[in-house]
Amino acid sequence: MEIDNSSYVFKNRKRMYIYTIAVAIILPIILLSEWFDKPIFGLSRHFFAAIILIIYLTYYVIRYFLNLNFVQVSVASNKLSLKYYSLRPLTKSHNSIEIPLQAFEGYKINTRFFGLKKDLILFQRVQGKIAKYPPVSLSALNKKQLEQLLILLNAVSQKK
């Protein structure tokens, strides 16, 4: 069984490019156009430009905080495989976790930021001790994908 959110990643990247291009077009229009020479509703062109810029930057900061990831989880040949990479700008590291099913000791999901930020922590038995992997953000998974992931992880946990 395999779970991934590649369709979300594609839509998300496309949306970010469109937002960036839209802001890059709208700001010069507001700042240089004659339409905004006279205040509209008593508000200057600089106010409108600042509002658009603040909305755009707030969206980027929230995305950065959520640390959206491409996530691919699969179970094959007696091992659990988790591949992921961050969708943050300028982040290029691709990470992978592979755990033999016999050594898998469970998982934990932490939820923060009003339930928007979800982190998966996997545990593995190594030389008689429990090792904890770094958290992997699941914020980019939709509800159905998250449910499938939980079913998969629960099934792997029960097979032990």
| Tokens matching residue 91 | 């982040």
Q: Where are the domains of the chain?
A: 1-160
Beta bridge partners of 87: none
Q: What is the pLDDT of residue 115?
A: 82
User: Rounded distance, CA 66 to CA 150, Å?
Assistant: 20
pLDDT by residue for the chain (160 residues), tens only, comes to: 788 888 888 898 899 899 999 999 999 988 888 877 777 777 788 888 999 999 999 988 888 888 888 999 998 888 989 999 888 877 778 889 999 988 889 899 999 888 889 999 999 999 889 999 999 999 888 889 899 999 889 888 876 5
User: Rounded distance, CA 65 to CA 136, Å?
Assistant: 13
Which residue in this structure is represented by tokens 């030389």?
127
Determine what percent of the chain falls in helix, strand and coil, rounding each to the nearest 5.
45, 35, 25
Sign of the four-CA dihedral 99, 105, 106, 110: negative
